[in-house]
Amino acid sequence: MFNWLYARHTGGRFLLRIEDTDRARSTQAAVEVIFEGLKWLGLEPDGPPVFQTARAEAHRAAAQALVEKGRAYRCYMTVEELVQERITARAAGRAVRSPWRDRHAPDGANQPFVVRFRSPADGETVIDDLIKGPVRFRNSELDDLVLLRSDGAPTYNLAVVVDDHDMGITHVIRGDDHLNNAARQALIYQALDYDLPAFGHVPMIHGPDGAKLSKRHGAQAVGEFADMGYLPEAMRNYLAHLGWGHGDDELFSDAQAIAWFDVKDVVKAPARLDWNKLAHVNNHYIRAADDGRLALSVIERLKGAAADLPADARERLQAAIPAVKDGAKTIVDLVELSRFALKVRPLVLDDKTLGHLTEETRARLARLVETLRFAETWTPVALEALLRQFATAEGVGLGKIGPALRGVLSGGSPAPDLAGTLWALGRDESLGRIEDALSQAR
């Protein structure tokens, strides 16, 4: 999100790279999750994605160049020797150093090897981070990291440096779990005589309890928020506000966020996911959304749940959604709040509604049908006034009419207030449902 905002703010380009050097984790399914999540969120890159594995030859060429410059070396340590060196290094409080760092290749035998970076033995590496400020690392504490595995496959830290250079990357904005990698990568940049990009390491998002966001907090992947019924524009607004802000503005458009955003304004402390605030933001965007779009979203969800829908479901929903969307925090809520409009006559009445349909109430509803039939204006305000006038004329309060009327109109499903329900259903459907109920109750 911050990469996208910064690229738009500065007139730059937002690029996407699939860092798939770890083949076990980089499955096609995992890659599709990235593509689908970014597409749904509306953060599509300014060019085709770059796959690191497709650039392996360029990575190997860079590793060979480092070997020739004496900034990398072939390491012939066995797995057992490496385990022992890690134990020894940990006990001595130092970084892993291979004995092959200062040795020539063994004679004769065709032994497997990895290519390691020759980290400086002393001094320090400073990352002048756009968010955290200067961060210092003692070079003696940085391992001689592997650049090429024994099968010749490039590793992540080498690949990102070469790809950043070849892609013309000027700014790397990423999670602060990569801050230690920045020090190692900076040394590789320098060893290859590459210009160093600007780094901005963003604090990770935490759950409400202050722990790193995980499945137990309810959602982790972008697609899960889509499944939970959040709108992409709401997520863009909310995510932009996590760790960055513009004064007291909580709700803002993409254009405003782009105009205001600067990575230097991102806060250093981790932001916490607040479900109540997210619901508030999402409700704002649901209320502002086009009713036809919301109707399609409801239909997609109901079809996904194999629900039977009337042929005119879209028209029914478009009429009902204006009456219910103010109370919907998510599209899931909207589905439940608009179900009453999709019911097909004659509705099956629940026992509670049938219990309200006494002889006196049925007579009163029959008189209400005639009043509604000749109502001059069918709007929530006009219908609210009509219902109150009718109750007054009947010499009763709305409480004597409301429960039965609500039941016969909604079939026991959640629905807006009486006037809103009548308005959402329309005159013909409302009168038909009341008349059906009066016939059933006899």
Mean pLDDT of the chain: 94
Q: What is the mean pLDDT of residues 140-150?
A: 94
pLDDT band at 221 (very low <50, low <70, confident <90, very high): confident
pLDDT for the residue numbered 434: 98
H or E element at residue 202? strand 198-202
pLDDT at 154 (0 to 100):
97
Query: Closest Cα to residue 270, out of 172, 202, 200?
Result: 202
Euclidean distance between the first and the last CA atom of the chain, given in angstroms as a whole number: 61
Concatenating the DSSP letter of every residue in 121-164 gives SSSEEEEEETTTEEEEEEGGGS---EEE-TTSPBPHHHHHHHHH
Per-residue pLDDT tens over the stretch 243-269: 999 999 999 999 999 999 999 999 999
Q: Name the token pair of 34.
A: 């990235």
Sign of the C-alpha dihedral, residues 393, 398, 403, 408?
A: positive
Contact 283, 329 (CB under 8 A): yes
Provide the residue type at 250 as one letter.
Answer: E
Task: Identify which of 149, 157, 155 has the alpha carbon closest to the alpha carbon of residue 183.
Answer: 157
Instruction: Kindly report, residue by residue over 163-216, the tens digit of the pLDDT.
Output: 999 999 999 999 999 999 999 999 999 999 999 999 999 999 998 888 887 777
Catalytic option among 215, 264, 303, 325: 215
- 329 is annotated as an active-site residue: no
Residues 47/13, Cβ–Cβ less than 8 Å? yes
State the amino acid at position 165 in one-letter form.
H
Per-residue buried b or exposed e for 250-272, using 16+ beta carbons within 10 Å of the residue's own CB: eebeeeebbebbebeebeeebbb
Determine what percent of the chain falls in helix, strand and coil, rounding each to the nearest 5.
55, 10, 35
The three-state DSSP-derived secondary structure of 360-401 is HHHHHHHHHHHHHHCCCCCCHHHHHHHHHHHHHHHCCCHHHC
Tokens of residue 56, six digits? 């392996």
